[in-house]
Each structure stands twice: as C-alpha cells, then as structure tokens.
Structure 1
Amino acid sequence: MQVGRLFEIVYILLNRKNITAKELSKQFEVSVRTIYRDIEVLCQAGIPIYTSKGKGGGIGLLNSFVLNKSVLTKEEQEEIITALQGLRATNYTSTNQILTKLTNLFGTDSLNWIEIDFTDWSDQKKEALQLLKAAVLERKVIEFDYYNSSGQKAKRRVEPLQLWFKNKNWYLKAFCHTKSGFRLFKLNRMKHICLTNETFLRVIEPDSLTYLHEQKSLNQVSFTLRVDPSQAYRIYDECDEEQISKEETGYFLVKYCYPAGEWIYDFILSYGNQAEVVEPEYIRTVIKNRLKGALDKYL
C-alpha cells in the first residue's frame, strides 16, 4: 500500500505546484503524520521535495524534476502520447488519467492534436460499441438479432474478434457459431446485443479475415450519376476528387462504387429530381420503376 501511495504522491506533485499535507491525507485516507513520513521516505530516495509554510505554502517538487524515463527515446515518448491522444478522442475510458500521468512522467507538453465527435450518433450505438469493445477485450461470446440486406432477421451467436471501421460504417469481425465460420456483421443491423458468460480462446486468423475483406470488395456496385450543379456541396462532401468530372453544361458526372444493397437505390432517390442515373441500365430501370410506383400512390 505504501509503495503505491508513494508513486501516487509523486504523480500528484508532478501535476501540481504544491499541495498541503492535509489534502493528501484526505485523498489517501491516512493521517497527516503518515503523509509526512511518506515525504521523508521520498526525500531519502532522492526525490527533490520541499515544504513551505504560510499562505500558499505546502509540499512541492523542484520544477526541474522529471522521473527517469531513459528506457524510451524522445520519439518513442511522443508516439505513446500521440497514440493515447488519438485513443482519448474515441472516448476510450480512463485514457485521460493515463495521459496525464505519462505527460508528467515524460516532462512533455500534451498537445491535443485530434478530436472526434460522435454526438450525432444515438445513445444506442454508443452503448453497442462499448458493449462490443468489452466483449472483444474480455473474449466473451455474444448473442444478437441480425437483419440481412433483405430485412430477414436471424439469431446469431458469435465470438467477437475485432471492431472494424470502413467506408463510414462500423463492422464486427467474428466467428459465427450459427454459420460455423468467420463473418462480418454491420453494426447498424445488429440488434439486442447480449454479452454471455461464455469465454473463447480463438484469435484472428489473417487468411480468414483477408477472405472476408475480399468478399466485401467483390460485392460492390458501380454506377454513374449526372447531378445538378446545385448539389455541388453534397458531391464534394461525399466524394473524392477523382470520382468527379464536370460537363460543359455545368452538370457533374460522378462515379460511385459502393457495397451492394437496397440502400443504394434509396441513396440515389435521395437526390430527388437533382440527379439522373447514367449507367448501368439495370439501375436506371429499377429507379424508373420505383418512381412510377411512388407516383401511382398519388394518382
């Protein structure tokens, strides 16, 4: 207990100019006398701690002091801090405390280089990500209802191996007990996720996951839209520059390549009368029939 308390005291002093013995005793739930004994032990160990009396006084460290960190190079220290900042941006729990300790330990400034805001997500998705993270780290089997691209629901029992963010969507890489094989599950289609008490030992098999990635890439649909100039803001928000060309009329020709699914038609129709499918012909036909069907409901 004392060794752990001694390290905590040093971390506190690294983070604050000074602190009173009374504050420390309250934080560690020990007597003021015990705190002074700890300070004496630290001084004997060569930690340059000083005490000052009067208003604004207390216990402090010499400003020039940093803990020995020679095991890591300056570049390695910066990489660790940078990685933790990136992890903190995804709301990973306890990162702030770790980041503060290591910043003080390395005697470096913590430049906040990244921020990721998920405020447009529903609470349900945040909860699902937290639950899946726990399942992956704790190697716990999970169960959930899964809706395929046709809207059919099936119960799945899987060993979660890794969360994967790809093309604006979250996926779960897992070994599915139901299908007896590796599968990718789209997070948006996973409902009623339940963490079981059953654990597993399986690890990611690179060949299997490479196959999954290839399968995902094979199920792509390519199509071209002619889009009204009024939609320029949306085109440049959603597309890379190499996908876009401009006609003399001012209209945009935009080439898309997206995972296959019913959602593609909804995406095209979301442009209303501001876009037209140039190719392939079968997608033009599907859109034409859907528009006719929608019109029939109002006639």
Structure 2
Amino acid sequence: MRASRLLSILLLLQTRGRMTAEALAAEFEVSVRTIYRDIDQLSAAGTPVYADRGRSGGFQLMDGYRTRLTGLTDAEAETLFLGGLSGPAAQMGFSGAVTTMQLKLLAALPPERQAAAERLAGRFHLDPVGWYQTADEAERLPVIAQAVWNSRRIAVRYESWKGEVARALEPLGLILKAGLWYLAARPVEGRGDPRTYRVSNILELTVGEATFERPAGFDLAAWWAETSRRFEADIFTGTATLRVSKAGLKQLAKLGAEQARIAAEAAAGAGEGWVVVTVPIESVEHAAVDFLRLGGEAEILAPAALRDAMRETAGRLAQLYRD
C-alpha cells in the first residue's frame, strides 16, 4: 500500500507541480505526518523532491526531473484518456486503479502534451446506456469482478426464464452490453461450454476458496462476438408480413437491426404510399407487443395468429377506453 502511495505522490507532483502536505494528505486520506514520512522516503530513494516554506510553499520536484512510462507514444497515451471507462470501472470496483493509471499516463507525456490529453478527456465521452434507460444496477458486480480476476469458483442462485436455479460456476469474464452486465461462466458440473448470465439476475452469490484453470486459448472478445451472432440468428423463429405506411417504416426501423435494414430497403422505393414488408419475429407474443408501437401506421397481414392477437389487443384497448 505504501509503495503504491509513494508512486502516486511522485506522479502527482510531476503532473500538478507544487502541492502542500495538507493537499496530499487529503488526496490519499492519510495524516499530514504520514505524508512527511513518505516525502522523506522518496528523498532517501534519490527522488529530487524538496520543500518550499511559507504560505505559498509545498513540495515539488526539481526542475527537469521526470519519470516516464516506456512503450507508449504520445498519441497512444492520449487515446487512453477517452471518457466512458471510469463508470464501468467504478461499478467493478476498479475506480482507484483507473485514477492511478491516468496519473501514470499523464506522467508519461511531456508537459506540452499533458494539456492536450486532459483536453481530449474533456471533449469525448462514451455513454453505453440507451436513451430512456438506466445502467444495470448490479450490487454484486465488484465481488464477481474479483472472482473473475482471481479465477475463483462461485456458487449462485440465479433467476432464469425457467425459474430460479442454483449453479456452481467458473467465472471467465464480464461483458458490458448496452448498459447491462453479463457474466461469461463455465458450469463446474460437466465442464461444458461457457454460458451467459445476466449479473443483475444473480439473487445470491458465494465466492469459494477453490480456484480453477481457465480454458486454454479462451478469448473473451471472440467468444462474445460468436455468442451474440448465434443469439441474434437463433432468436427469430418465424416471419410476419405487414402493410406499413411511410411513417410506420420509421417506427419499424427502431425495432432492431434486421427490421431497420428491411425498412430502409422498403422506404427507398415506397414513395408516399403504403408498402408490404416481411420481417423476422421472435414469437407471436413478442411480435404483438413490438408491433403495437407502430399504432395505426401498420396492418398485420400474416400470420393469422399474430393478426388475431393484434385484433384481440385492439379490442381490449377499445373496451378499456370506451368511456
């Protein structure tokens, strides 16, 4: 802990210039006496840090002294300052590590580039959560992140679409998708292929003492890309034919990537009239809910079961609002 604080003090003095003992103590939540001991330790290690007394005094490094990271170009270090990382890192319990990383990156840059890096962080920000949505609140996320990092087995009680289930898992990685956190984990029993678990659906969690060996060659990014592709390909079990207005095509495009592609192709030759399109659907039940968003700008032509479901829903709405 102290070694990490000494390095952080060095980087702070390098990036911010003169700082008082009180300011450093507040930064690291330690006593002023501890900061004085840390400064003595840095000096004993050969770091050219000295103190200016008086109202505007404080500790600072000798002019021209710099500690630099190696292997990073200025442009590469600046790029790592892009916003959006701090939020997910804080959710996983790594906010302190991100702050230290940014200090190290600033220290790696020459003085004339430090302002540019900080300006970059202030002008670009990544917000992965969709409009009118909130980030997935997963209170167990930091514990899971540590289990992933340390390769420790976990026992969970999980709420799946089939009901509550108990699982012993080997956590392999965490994925943030559209504001929602997912866990890639391999069941202990049977040691099958990794599966996906939504973190917020974990009702109970216990981290065990036993560790495990990660599958040889497991690539989390590649696995997630293939899992996502397979999920999107398998989710559609049928099709629906609709007669849609020009305004309805704009609404249809908001239902998904494939629907957006079909709507764009139809709109290109639709003119001002209505067009007939065929789109994939997950099920009659899901489609009935989705197509209600189109309101009176679309008519379901097929399948008959979906048309009946829309008619039944419209009848219930009419009855509800009759008065």
TM-score, length-normalised on structure 2?
0.66
Q: How far has the Cα of 1:157 moved from its partner? A: 0.3
Q: How far has the Cα of 1:13 moved from its partner? A: 1.0
Amino acid at match of 2:167: R
Aligned to 1:273, the other structure's residue is in SS state helix
Aligned pairs for 1:1-299 (under 5 A) are 4=4, 6-21=6-21, 23-24=23-24, 27-30=30-33, 34=37, 37-38=40-41, 40-41=43-44, 44-45=46-47, 47=48, 49-61=49-61, 65-78=65-78, 80-82=80-82, 85-92=83-90, 93-94=94-95, 95-107=97-109, 108=114, 109-110=117-118, 111-112=120-121, 113-116=124-127, 118=129, 120-121=133-134, 125-127=137-139, 129-130=141-142, 132-138=144-150, 139-148=152-161, 152-159=162-169, 160-164=171-175, 171-177=182-188, 181-182=192-193, 184-185=195-196, 187=198, 190-197=201-208, 199-204=210-215, 215-216=230-231, 217-221=233-237, 222-223=239-240, 225-231=242-248, 234-235=251-252, 237-238=254-255, 242-243=261-262, 244=264, 245-246=266-267, 247-251=270-274, 256-257=279-280, 262-277=285-300, 281=302, 284-294=303-313, 295=315, 298=319
Name the CA distance, whole Å, in 2 between partners of 1:166 and 1:61. Answer: 44
TM-score, length-normalised on structure 1?
0.70
**Long gaps (5+) in structure 1:** none
Name the CA distance, whole Å, in 2 between partners of 1:288 and 1:277. Answer: 6
Assess if the C-alpha contact under 8 Å between 1:143 and 1:157 holds in 2.
Answer: yes
Aligned length: 286
Assess if the C-alpha contact under 8 Å between 2:159 and 2:202 holds in 1.
Answer: yes
Q: CA RMSD in A?
A: 4.3
Against the structure 1 CA distance between its residues 166 and 38, is the aligned structure 2 distance closer, same or farther, given a 3 Å change threshold?
A: closer
Aligned to 1:271, the other structure's residue is in SS state helix
Aligned to 1:266, the other structure's residue is in SS state helix
Amino acid at match of 2:77: Q
- State the Cα deviation string for residues 40-62 of structure 1 (Å, max 9, x = none): 436x44x3x45434332222235
Aligned to 2:139, the other structure's residue is in SS state helix
Amino acid at match of 1:290: A
Against the structure 1 CA distance between its residues 154 and 101, is the aligned structure 2 distance closer, same or farther, given a 3 Å change threshold?
A: same
Assess if the C-alpha contact under 8 Å between 1:21 and 1:35 holds in 2.
Answer: no
Aligned to 1:114, the other structure's residue is in SS state coil
Aligned to 1:126, the other structure's residue is in SS state coil
- State the Cα deviation string for residues 63-85 of structure 1 (Å, max 9, x = none): 65431323444454345545xx4
Against the structure 1 CA distance between its residues 117 and 101, is the aligned structure 2 distance closer, same or farther, given a 3 Å change threshold?
A: same
Q: Which moved more, 1:12-21 or 1:254-263?
A: 254-263
Identity of aligned residues (%): 18
Which one has a larger percent strand, Structure 1 or Structure 2? 1
Aligned to 1:127, the other structure's residue is in SS state coil
Q: Which moved more, 1:253-262 or 1:136-145?
A: 253-262
Assess if the C-alpha contact under 8 Å between 1:161 and 1:173 holds in 2.
Answer: yes
Against the structure 1 CA distance between its residues 165 and 39, is the aligned structure 2 distance closer, same or farther, given a 3 Å change threshold?
A: closer
Q: How far has the Cα of 1:90 moved from its partner? A: 2.5
Assess if the C-alpha contact under 8 Å between 2:134 and 2:179 holds in 1.
Answer: no
**Long gaps (5+) in structure 2:** none
- State the Cα deviation string for residues 135-186 of structure 1 (Å, max 9, x = none): 43343323223333xxx31413042323345688654332235776335445
Assess if the C-alpha contact under 8 Å between 1:14 and 1:61 holds in 2.
Answer: yes
